[in-house]
Amino acid sequence: MDNIKISPSILSADFSKLGHEIQNLENAEADLIHIDVMDGHFVPNITIGPEVISKLRKYTSLPFDVHLMISPVHNFIKNFAEAGADIITIHPEATENLVSSIKKIKSYNKKAGVSLNPETSIDKVLPVLNLIDLVLIMSVNPGFGGQKFMPETLEKVKILRREIDTKKLKAQIEMDGGINFENAKIAIKAGVDILVSGTTIFKENGGNLKKNIQLLKTG
């Protein structure tokens, strides 16, 4: 359990003081900062772009775990890499050539991730598993925070865990969507390395960030 990492989603933070919210997360011993980028086209919501990310970069040394829910994504990779993203995660449906987009992310010396929506087949990621650093399993349909966890998505985690361990690959498994203290335990048991959580971290226990992060880590 000691190696479980927590990547708080700033989608649940106070957007009027995002820089300070990120500093508070670092002080609360978060491992990464999860930034959801949505375009209102690939998903039915609009959040922030590279300009905001570049302004937030000065507030923390923690890795920026940037999840791009934009389509077409390929031509925007450069913008987010230069804005200060450390991990760039994309969806197979959002690019004409997944391998080409992964290579483009890597060309900026960034870690590359591939995200699977609940309805997206695991077959979309298996052929590129040796090329990437992260698989993000969505346990809700992306677009909005505060949704209910979909337990059926855990099956993908179990398959990926076996595949990664058997082939001794470096890819980590991240899970995002409706993560709370109860289902965090199940996700960790299934083989997740990184948990993304927003509502639970910012709202539970009176918004005690450090306590909530530790509770998620220990399962």
* Residue of 31, 65, 176, 193 with catalytic role: 176
CATH of the structural domain 5-214, one choice from 3.40.630.10, 3.30.1050.10, 3.20.20.70, 3.10.150.10: 3.20.20.70
DSSP letter at 149 equals P
* Residue of 31, 36, 39, 133 with catalytic role: 36
Q: Strands, E, within 92-179: which ranges?
A: 111-116, 134-138, 172-176
Q: Is the separation of the CB atoms in 26 and 62 below 8 Å? A: yes
* Whether residue 181 has pLDDT greater than 90: yes
pLDDT at residue 1, rounded to an integer: 46
The domains of the chain are located at 5-214
* Whether residue 14 has pLDDT greater than 70: yes
Global pTM value: 0.96
The mean of the pLDDT values for the chain is 96
Q: What is the per-residue pLDDT across 46-91, written as a single tens digit (0 to 9) for each?
A: 999 999 999 999 999 999 999 999 999 999 999 999 999 999 999 9
Q: Which of 74, 67, 21, 75 is nearest to 48 (CA)?
A: 67
pLDDT mean over 169-176: 98
Peptide bond into 72 cis (omega under 30): yes
Backbone angles phi, psi at 6, to 5 degrees: -115, 130
Q: Is the separation of the CB atoms in 206 and 19 below 8 Å? A: no
User: Rounded distance, CA 1 to CA 215, Å?
Assistant: 11
pLDDT mean over 140-155: 89
pLDDT mean over 85-112: 98
pLDDT mean over 5-16: 96
pLDDT at residue 146, rounded to an integer: 73
Active site annotation includes 123: no
Active site annotation includes 14: no
Task: Report residue 103's pLDDT band, with 50, 70 and 90 as the boundaries.
Answer: very high
* Whether residue 2 has pLDDT greater than 70: no
pLDDT at residue 61, rounded to an integer: 97
- From residue 91, give the alpha-carbon distance in Å to each of 135, 166, 184: 10, 25, 23
pLDDT mean over 134-152: 90
State the residue for tokens 């990310």. Answer: 53
